[in-house]
Homo-oligomer: A and B are copies of this chain.
């Protein structure tokens, strides 16, 4: 059940980095929905490798091929399956990786779990490449949500010690989300854009990598979505966001910082604005008791530095149980955050659509 998700929808992801194809099967897209394939392609291209100097030079068209579920471009109520063929694979050299696990990767844990039968090529099913099908599903759900007036946008909040400005948690707008795409990196501030690019270039030169934080906002969500206890919005968004390899933390609203505050500071006063109940501040990140409050949902995900680095690292030979040195070859991103931004949006869309499916007007499709 590991590669599957959903209560009201159902997505099932499959493939390995270097298998014939990767893909996703999606149940729960309403019959009659007509995906905007250009918008989807544009969304996927934000995740795709090889698009700028800031990512791995491995090039994949990554164009999804819909093999069922659409009839003349319109959802027919059957599961939608999209596959992406893996054309640009380089399976050589993997034999050594198989015996010497890369620090920070799943090579070792997979080796034990799958008893040596794991697919070591390119990380197998642990590859960041598996976020492509996640983004296909998420991209479709973003369109469905968008047609119901719900918009999702994320930006790089920080890389290393360089920070972007924050979304205004009470007033983040669709306009803010568009602003993000005006820069080279997905950030709100041109200054952060420039500094972050400098930092990434430095890391690339040194054969090192750098992590950071992504901030995501969801606006237009009605009050009352989410279920308490195990299926609150925080639980479900977390379950999806941790499906992105490299995510090691998540926080909602004022998060870890807010927890150092007094209740009198962190509590968000209620007020009436234009006949609607709102909060004056949004430390709760749009979620109270697991249920949406109508304020923007705000969360941040911590993304660890890409573990694949050129520098020599210490590892072990599993066959002989000896320490050894390892230098990872291959094509790698010095900073995965630019490509992780659409993945976080996709994960949020999948989680939210699962919770909201039965509440939104299918007529909006």
Given contacts A81-B15, A110-B77, A316-B271, contact A210 B289 (CB under 8 A): no
**Inter-chain contact A118/B235, CB cutoff 8 Å:** no
**Inter-chain contact B316/A103, CB cutoff 8 Å:** no
* A239-253 Cβ-contact flags toward B at 8 Å (1 or 0): 110110101111111
Stretch at the interface among A147-155, A173-181, A299-307: A299-307
CA distance A316 to B231 in the complex (A): 28
A261 to chain B, nearest CB (A): 6
A198 at the interface (CB under 8 A from B): no
**Inter-chain contact A270/B315, CB cutoff 8 Å:** yes
CA distance A14 to B68 in the complex (A): 7
Q: Could you say how many copies of this chain the assembly holds? A: 4
**Inter-chain contact B263/A306, CB cutoff 8 Å:** yes
A224 at the interface (CB under 8 A from B): yes
CA distance A118 to B76 in the complex (A): 5
**Inter-chain contact A263/B210, CB cutoff 8 Å:** yes
- Chain B residue at minimal CB-CB distance from A6: B1
- Report chain B residues within 8 Å CB of A130: 229
CA distance A112 to B292 in the complex (A): 10
**Inter-chain contact A213/B309, CB cutoff 8 Å:** no
**Inter-chain contact A305/B1, CB cutoff 8 Å:** no
**Inter-chain contact B16/A12, CB cutoff 8 Å:** no
- Report chain B residues within 8 Å CB of A74: 117
* A255-289 Cβ-contact flags toward B at 8 Å (1 or 0): 11011111111111111100101011001110011
Given contacts A211-B260, A229-B243, contact A103 B14 (CB under 8 A): no
Residues in chain A within 8 A of chain B (CB atoms): 1-8, 10, 12-16, 19-23, 25, 27, 31-32, 65-69, 71, 74-81, 83, 101, 103-106, 108-110, 112-119, 121, 124-126, 130, 158, 160-161, 203, 208-213, 223-224, 226-232, 234-236, 238-240, 242-243, 245, 247-256, 258-272, 275, 277, 279-280, 283-285, 288-293, 302-309, 311, 313-316, 318, 321-323, 358
